[in-house]
Amino acid sequence: MTVSQEFTPGLVLRGLTPPLRLADFKLAVFDMDSTLINIECVDEIAAEAGLKEEVAAITEAAMRGEITDYKESLRQRVKLLRGVTVADLERVYVERLRLNPGVERLVAACKAAGMKTLLVSGGFTFFTDRVRDHLGIDYTRSNVLELESGPNCGQLTGRMVDQDWGDICDGDEKRKMLLETCAKLGISPKQAIAVGDGANDLPMMGEAGLSVAYHAKPRVREQAMVQINEGGLDRLLELFA
C-alpha cells in the first residue's frame, strides 16, 4: 500500500515525486460540480422548487459512494424537478454558480502547455455548455434536461433526454469518454490528468496517469494520487517544474 504524505500544507501526494512535467501530459479531464464550480447544480435547481434538502441528501450519498446506482439516484433527483422553469435555471446560473478559485489559471496553464481539455459531468448541458465556452474547454459530455412542449413550454418534465452516446453521464460514461478522447487524440490514458471530487469520478481517475481529488469525499481522497484539501485548483501547478 502506498502511503500518502503531505507535500505542502493542504496538498497530499500518494506515490508521486515532484517535480513533474506538464508537457508529459496531453489531456486534462475535469468534473464540473464542486470541482470547476462551487455548487451542485441539481441541488440548487431543487432549491427553486423548495426541495433542496431532499435532493441534496441524495446527492451527498451518491457522491460519497453510498448509493451504488448513480443513474437511478440522478433520475430520482431530476424527477423531483418537474415544473421548474428555464427562468429558474437561469437564476441558478447567474446568482449562485461561480468558478472555484484557481480554475481559470489551471485551465489556462494546461492550454498553454498544449494540452486538450475535457469536461465530463453528471450535471446538465444548460450549465456545462456555458462553463465550457467561458473556459475554452475542447470537449464536454453531460446530461440534457427534457422540457415540456405545448402550454407548459419552458418547464422541466422531470426526465432527461437520451443522447446518441447513451442515456446518463455517470462514472462509467466519464471513464468511457476519457478513453475515447485519448484514442481520438492518439495518446495513452496515462498522459491524461483527471480531476474530481465524488465517487462517480473514480472510474475515470483510475484510468488517468495523474488523478486529483479536489476538496473531495473521503473515498476519493483515499484513492487519488493528489489531494488538494486547502486552497484553489491551481495548487496542482505546485507539482510541476
Question: For residues 66 and 91, is the Cβ–Cβ distance under 8 A?
Answer: no
Fill in the DSSP letter of residue 239. G
Confidence of residue 149 (pLDDT cuts 50, 70, 90): confident
Query: Is the bond preceding 101 in cis, omega lying within 30 degrees of 0?
Result: no
**Cα–Cα–Cα angle for 131, 134, 136, rounded to 5 degrees:** 100
pLDDT of residue 152: 79
Domain ranges of the chain: 4-239
Whether 167 is catalytic is no
C-alpha distances (whole Å) from 118 to each of 11, 97, 121, 162, 174 are 23, 19, 10, 21, 10
Average pLDDT over residues 79-108: 97
Report pLDDT digits (tens) over 57-93.
999 999 999 988 999 999 999 999 999 999 999 999 9
33 counts as catalytic: yes
* pLDDT tops 90 at residue 131: yes
Q: What is the pTM of this model?
A: 0.95
Among 33, 88, 170, 234, the one annotated catalytic: 33
The fold of the 4-239 domain, in CATH, is: Rossmann fold (3.40.50)
What average pLDDT does the structure give for the chain?
96
User: Does the structure show a pLDDT above 80 at 3?
Assistant: no
Residue 170 contacts residue 122 (beta carbons within 8 Å): yes
Q: Give the pLDDT confidence of 174-207 residue by residue, as tens digits.
A: 999 999 999 999 999 999 999 999 999 999 999 9
Q: Helix, strand, coil shares of the chain as percentages rounded to 5?
A: 45, 25, 30
| pLDDT at position 68 | 85
Q: Which residues pair with 147 in a beta bridge?
A: 156
Q: 219 pLDDT exceeds 70?
A: yes
Percent of the chain with pLDDT over 90: 95
Report whether pLDDT(1) > 60: no
Point out the catalytic residue in the list 24, 31, 129, 170: 31
